[in-house]
Structure 1
Amino acid sequence: MPPDSIVFGAAGFIGRCLVAELLRRGRADEAAVRGDGDRLTAWLTGQGVPLDGLSVVRADITRPGLGLPATGLDDVRDVHNCAARFAFGLSVAEARAANVTGALNVLDWAADLKSLRRVVHLSGYRVSGPGGGPPDYRGLGAYEASKKEGDAAVRARARERGIPLTIANPATAIGQGQFLGLASVVSDLWHGRLPAVPGGREVFVPVVDVGYLAAFLAALPGDERTEGQAYWILDDRTPVLPDLLELLATHMGVRAPRRTIPVGLLRRLPRALTGADPETLSFLSTDRYDTAPADAFAERIGLRRPPIEPTLRAWADDLVAARFGAIAAPPRPYGYQQVAGTATWVTGERVRPAHVLLYGLPLDSGSWAQVADRLDGPVLAADLPGLGGSGPGHRPLEEWLADLLRSAETRPVLVAHSLACGPAIRFAAAHPERLARLVLFAPAVLQAPSPWPLRSGGAAAVLRRTPPARLARLLGLPEGAVAAPFSRPGQARRAVAALRALHADRHDLRRALDGLDVPVELVAGSADPLTVAVDRPVTTIDGAGHYPQLTHPEAVAAAITVRAGKGQAAV
């Protein structure tokens, strides 16, 4: 089936969502990308999008003719230009090549299509509007100035050549995979690096759900009344920036800044002090936008915006899941949930889990990923209060664990590692009827404690300053296994306090372990043996140290799923 639409910039965040929307509508779509398109097709497949109507073609919008083949695109009616260079710190030449020259090249190519119905050009909510003279590259920066120049140039070229054009001016599109712009502010908030809200109390940085935006864009060419129109596509229910940050801070269990810094002062202060890119400051505005035409069109086609606050929270979950673009996000479900009054980072199934996985320091719940992939049945994992992605807790860990499992309708296998073995033992002692089994890996209560955090008054400071790569080497972990575990305020201090509390309770925990009325398996690495004699069989993983879930995930999964026999076993 020959394509009837083409999307330029199809591999970008908005472009790929638009391609997905068109394919779901049964459209035959040509995805124009600069590379080979493998990442796009992999993403679409991961989203469950049918690929029957998809074809991929290489294009370079900076070249006249776009480098496209001379044949095969004769039936294209709708042209969506989502291609742009979105980055700060560009040179003027780099920015203009994509955002001005490239936009005009797309328009000129489209003008020669025999069946052209519409060109939809993606502009920006801060740059659109008629007139205004040449853009101020020095004052605005190359990105925004080039988008402003491109917007005006596209309008003029379309009038000159009689091209049916619609301009879309979206605000910051949010959704899984969006790590630019406002996302950097959310990152600073999560990491405790945002002492004040940039701008004033009424700064308005609007957002729009990317799914809503894609559906809006896909529908534009089919309505002849949208020809020659421009639409501000944004959610005007977006809270002003201080309230938006308060909303996300509460969701993520971090402190929201109370003070604001005026934009004028931010411009005068050194960037090394503020951390603010000068090109972003023009977006800190109190301006509002006329969304009535866009709202009327959405009403006409039956398109409804999703509720803004849940949309913002879900986006924050996506950002944290991917560590703000540093890693690939785990499979859903994931996100922040309130557990025992703590904003807790939870992945997996809370209602019908087959296995519940708890980790030890300095890891987080993601350390179980390779093990979870090898287990049968749903898995539940969560970051401990005050550690990993979770906010600080104010109740004992065993109470937090009890609340985490309160909604479970199954009797799962509870798996704990190192430090987490303490609350796991206490939970099993209090609620044996809630568990099928208890599996303890490298239980700290049965090993010699490290004297360093117990005796050193500066232990927390040392942890905080130790780079993740060095910490991984010191612990004998694979490269990249430790991802800045103590980078957030108070985490190193809480980690040391948890280790000291475990040491103080180790004798009580051993007695509780001896008296458990639930099947228990003990597992240790051959290079990290138990140092306390126990009257239970111990499974030994050959060649493993203190973190077998990272170094020997297959053996760990086997130890969880296959009950150890009598006496000592080796995996």
Structure 2
Amino acid sequence: MQPDSVVFGASGLIGRFLVAELLRRGRTVAAAARQPDGGALTSWLTSRDVPLDGLALVRADIARPDLGLPPGDLTAVRDVYNCAGRYAFGLTAEEARATNVTGAVHVLDWAATRPGLRRVVHVSGYRVSGAGEPPDYRRLGAYEASKVEADAAVRARARERDVPLSIANPASVIGPGQFVGLASMVSDLWHGRLPALPGGREVFVPVVDAAYLAAFLAELPEDDRGRGEAYWILDDRTPVLPELIGLLAAHMGVRAPRHAVPVGLLRLLPRALTGADPETFSFLSTDRYDTASARTFAERAGLRMPPTGAALRAWADDLVAARFGAAGTPRGPYGYQQVAGTATWISGERERPGHVLLHGLPLDSGSWREVADRLDGPVLAADLPGLGRSGPARGPAAEWLAELLAGARPVLVAHSAACVPALRYAAAHPERISRLVLVAPAFLQAPSSWPARTPLAALLLRRMSAARLAAVLGVPEGPAVTAAAAGLARPGQARRVVVALRAAHAARDELRRLLDRVRVPVEIVTGSADPLTVAVDRPVTTIAGAGHYPQLTHPGEVAAAIG
């Protein structure tokens, strides 16, 4: 196979999306990177149902004049995309220039030797003016200054060598896998570490959807009128930064900061206090950008940007699902939905689930992942209000559960403290569930010796490491425990866990009476190391060797008992 396109920087976010777009269009693509991780790229493409027949993986280093490619390689390439770049702050001028300037010129020189070259597409950034003025590295910082210098250098070399060139200046790219730039502010917002907004009330940080950008880049060589043009590719409808953050805060159920700190003051404050690299402050600007040529081109190509709010909310869901880059992105569907006024994190099928899984303390719905993968039919798992990734409750738990289960008659599965709302719901609405499964029902077991019952419980939990939490729970340290420890560090989370645990303990007698009266089939699953201390007239499955969290230690056995 002789690729007709080459994407340098294919392992980066823009490069991955562009490779996927080109392959979907039936193009043959050389995905080039300095250290190509073929397994990671092909897995990502496969997860998005992208055909791989036209893909070739290539090792290349744009810092070298020959790109590290043998002279006879990729001779059939028509379209050359340079998505490679060093996107980092705190670089020296030499480090930034090696890739962003010298490397960009090397790509253009190499492309000029392709006999059938149709277009070189150079990906730059929206803060590049295109005026050709020498950049001030001291004022702008090495990253932004190197992108400005590269813009002028690439234009000049293209004129010298008569290379057909298009320049794309995208805004802050949003999409699955984007964990840098604006994502760090969203992370601080979600974790409760954003007391005030950086910049003024009119700061404009424009965004562009990754999939839309990839489609735009793929179209550029197809239009002869795009030769020699530069395009500022951004969503003009992006709200100003305070409104953008407010939109995401409402979606994720967290509090948005009420105050803003002017950029001038931020520059005077020590980095230890702001937690931000001074280079990022130049992006906190009220500047607007001329997108007329990009809009005209998109119209000719039939491209439509997704609605701004929907794109931002979907990106926020991706960030939270991947724990802001700390974990892999799970299989969808997932995201925040409003349930009885509460911003609720939901994974799986909401419409007609066969099983609904409710987590215990201090975990979230991710603790059911290995069990859910083993169950037949659609599964819905949700983080309880105020716990896990869900926002604080906006009403009674009964109303939340009633709206969550509206229109379905599933098997309702609850672990430990979640047995409280589940059993109450089953007693009040027996016609709305087909079966109730109680996993490690705490109200039928010995009272917990958990540290959450001590006077300083919330403080202890908030400061608990994943390793310590795993030891307390009696389970191996893994993704579910790591996520729980991270969640407990969020403002108010540990306190709400303590309140929920104490409420569950106070309801023990009530729940035992309800269990005797509930009219739906009830089954109980428990571990041999965490036995029932109350005799019940219900079917009980005991899992040998399991403790209070059998879904983490014995997911196969739990799934079999549920199914």
Same fold (TM over 0.5): yes
Query: In 2, Cα distance between the equivalents of 1:383 and 1:209?
Result: 28
Q: Structure 1 residues 448, 396: closer, same or farther in 2, change over 3 A?
A: farther
Q: Deviations over 1:311-346 (max 9, x none)?
A: 111111111111111111211111111111100000
Query: In 2, Cα distance between the equivalents of 1:91 and 1:387?
Result: 43
Match of 1:565 in 2: none
Q: Deviations over 1:175-198 (max 9, x none)?
A: 111111000001111111111111
Q: Give the TM-score of the pair, scaled to structure 1.
A: 0.96
Q: What amino acid does structure 1 have at the position aligned with 2:123? A: L
Q: Kindly indicate whether residue 318 of structure 2 is the aligned counterpart of residue 309 of structure 1.
A: no
> Within 5 Å, which residues of 2 pair with 1:429-508?
429-450=427-448, 456-480=454-478, 481-482=480-481, 483=483, 484-508=486-510
Match of 2:417 in 1: 419
Q: Structure 1 residues 36, 261: closer, same or farther in 2, change over 3 A?
A: closer
Match of 1:54 in 2: 55
Q: Deviations over 1:239-258 (max 9, x none)?
A: 00000001011111111111
Query: In 1, Cα distance between the equivalents of 2:127 and 2:88?
Result: 15
Q: Deviations over 1:203-224 (max 9, x none)?
A: 0000001111111100101111
Contact in 2 for aligned 1:30/1:54 (Cα 8 Å):
yes
Q: Deviations over 1:125-155 (max 9, x none)?
A: 012412222x222222222122122122111
Q: Deviations over 1:28-58 (max 9, x none)?
A: 1111122242211111111111112221211
Query: Relative to structure 2, which stretch is displaced further, 441-450 or 196-205?
Result: 441-450
Q: Deviations over 1:481-503 (max 9, x none)?
A: 31213121111111111111111
Q: What amino acid does structure 1 have at the position aligned with 2:402? A: A
Contact in 1 for aligned 2:466/2:477 (Cα 8 Å):
no
Match of 1:361 in 2: 361
Match of 1:534 in 2: 536
Q: Structure 1 residues 132, 72: closer, same or farther in 2, change over 3 A?
A: closer
Q: Structure 1 residues 63, 454: closer, same or farther in 2, change over 3 A?
A: closer
Q: What amino acid does structure 2 have at the position aligned with 1:91? A: T
Match of 2:249 in 1: 249
Contact in 2 for aligned 1:36/1:58 (Cα 8 Å):
no
Match of 1:544 among 539, 543, 546: 546
Q: Structure 1 residues 294, 455: closer, same or farther in 2, change over 3 A?
A: closer
Q: What amino acid does structure 2 have at the position aligned with 1:42? A: S
Aligned residues: 558
Q: Deviations over 1:86-125 (max 9, x none)?
A: 1122233322221111111101100111111110000000
Contact in 2 for aligned 1:169/1:230 (Cα 8 Å):
yes
Query: In 1, Cα distance between the equivalents of 2:50 and 2:289?
Result: 34
1:448 CA displacement: 2.2
Contact in 2 for aligned 1:350/1:407 (Cα 8 Å):
no
Query: In 1, Cα distance between the equivalents of 2:119 and 2:387?
Result: 52
Contact in 1 for aligned 2:253/2:392 (Cα 8 Å):
yes
> Within 5 Å, which residues of 2 pair with 1:10-409?
10-34=10-34, 35-133=36-134, 135-408=135-408
Q: Deviations over 1:373-409 (max 9, x none)?
A: 111101000001111110000323232111110132x
Q: Structure 1 residues 425, 4: closer, same or farther in 2, change over 3 A?
A: same
Contact in 1 for aligned 2:77/2:117 (Cα 8 Å):
yes
Q: What amino acid does structure 1 have at the position aligned with 2:55? A: L
1:447 CA displacement: 1.6
1:455 CA displacement: 5.0
Q: Deviations over 1:540-564 (max 9, x none)?
A: 1111111111111111111111xxx
Query: In 2, Cα distance between the equivalents of 1:241 and 1:521?
Result: 51
Q: Deviations over 1:285-310 (max 9, x none)?
A: 00000000000001111111111111
Instruction: Specify the SS of the correspondent of 1:536.
Output: coil
Q: Give the TM-score of the pair, scaled to structure 2.
A: 0.97
Query: In 1, Cα distance between the equivalents of 2:10 and 2:151?
Result: 20
Instruction: Specify the SS of the correspondent of 1:384.
Output: coil
Instruction: Specify the SS of the correspondent of 1:232.
Output: strand
Q: What amino acid does structure 2 have at the position aligned with 1:522? A: I
Provide the identity percentage: 75
Query: In 2, Cα distance between the equivalents of 1:54 and 1:323?
Result: 30
Query: In 1, Cα distance between the equivalents of 2:51 and 2:526?
Result: 46
Instruction: Specify the SS of the correspondent of 1:115.
Output: coil
Instruction: Specify the SS of the correspondent of 1:385.
Output: coil
Contact in 2 for aligned 1:453/1:496 (Cα 8 Å):
no
RMSD: 1.3
1:479 CA displacement: 1.5
Q: What amino acid does structure 2 have at the position aligned with 1:428? A: A
1:71 CA displacement: 2.1
Contact in 1 for aligned 2:5/2:29 (Cα 8 Å):
yes
Contact in 1 for aligned 2:453/2:502 (Cα 8 Å):
no
Query: In 1, Cα distance between the equivalents of 2:508 and 2:42?
Result: 52
Instruction: Specify the SS of the correspondent of 2:507.
Output: helix
Contact in 2 for aligned 1:128/1:169 (Cα 8 Å):
no
Contact in 2 for aligned 1:453/1:500 (Cα 8 Å):
no
1:431 CA displacement: 1.2
1:532 CA displacement: 2.0
Query: In 2, Cα distance between the equivalents of 1:257 and 1:524?
Result: 44
Q: Structure 1 residues 452, 78: closer, same or farther in 2, change over 3 A?
A: closer
Instruction: Specify the SS of the correspondent of 1:120.
Output: strand
Contact in 1 for aligned 2:202/2:286 (Cα 8 Å):
yes
Instruction: Specify the SS of the correspondent of 2:193.
Output: coil
Query: In 1, Cα distance between the equivalents of 2:407 and 2:57?
Result: 46
1:457 CA displacement: 2.4
Query: In 1, Cα distance between the equivalents of 2:402 and 2:451?
Result: 28
Query: In 2, Cα distance between the equivalents of 1:275 and 1:454?
Result: 32
Query: In 1, Cα distance between the equivalents of 2:269 and 2:215?
Result: 42
Q: Structure 1 residues 358, 452: closer, same or farther in 2, change over 3 A?
A: closer
* Segments ≥4 residues shifted beyond 3 Å: 451-455
Q: What amino acid does structure 1 have at the position aligned with 2:130? A: G
Query: Relative to structure 2, which stretch is displaced further, 175-184 or 69-78?
Result: 69-78
Query: In 1, Cα distance between the equivalents of 2:116 and 2:313?
Result: 43
1:453 CA displacement: 5.5
Query: In 2, Cα distance between the equivalents of 1:236 and 1:442?
Result: 52
Q: What amino acid does structure 2 have at the position aligned with 1:196? A: A
Query: Relative to structure 2, which stretch is displaced further, 252-261 or 87-96?
Result: 87-96
Q: What amino acid does structure 2 have at the position aligned with 1:51? A: L
Q: What amino acid does structure 1 have at the position aligned with 2:398? A: E
Q: Structure 1 residues 128, 5: closer, same or farther in 2, change over 3 A?
A: farther
